[in-house]
Amino acid sequence: MLRLLEVFAYGTYGEYLQRRESDPTSLPELTPQMAKKLRLLTLASLAASSSRRLGYARLQSELGVDTVRELEDLVVEAANADVVRGKLDQRTLHLEVVYAMPRDIRRVSRALVVHNVRVDVSSSLPRATSRM
């Protein structure tokens, strides 16, 4: 159960499928409600990535949905739940992200975040100059 909790805390639907494929006993099978929730959390992670323009093809692949209709319904549900905000562009088949709900980060990533903040802070501090 701890592994499943980790997937829901900071994993993705694709990671769940990979783990399940490599070792079917490592994670329980998802109920339809659990699968939808994990897809919404995955969408939040994708929307929070550096790219604010996400193509339908990538979203369909990452979220494990087969049709554009399923994808658009999921994005609308995510918007209604305030998971993401943005605009679906049906002409260019992209989601333009304006906001994404933040998600937890892995323990290993936390050390990197702390390091990056320290580097940013130290580089922004004025340097002491010696006077003689």
Considering the chain, what is the average pLDDT of its residues? 86
Q: What local confidence, expressed as pLDDT, does residue 122 receive?
A: 64
Percent of the chain whose pLDDT exceeds 90: 67
Q: What local confidence, expressed as pLDDT, does residue 16 receive?
A: 96
How far, in Å, CA of 40 to CA of 127, rounded? 45
How far, in Å, CA of 114 to CA of 110, rounded? 6
pLDDT greater than 90 at residue 103: no
In CATH, the number for domain 2-124 is 1.10.10.10
pLDDT in tens, 28-84: 999 999 999 999 999 999 998 867 899 999 999 999 999 999 999 999 999 999 999
Q: What local confidence, expressed as pLDDT, does residue 127 receive?
A: 56
**Domains of the chain by residue range:** 2-124
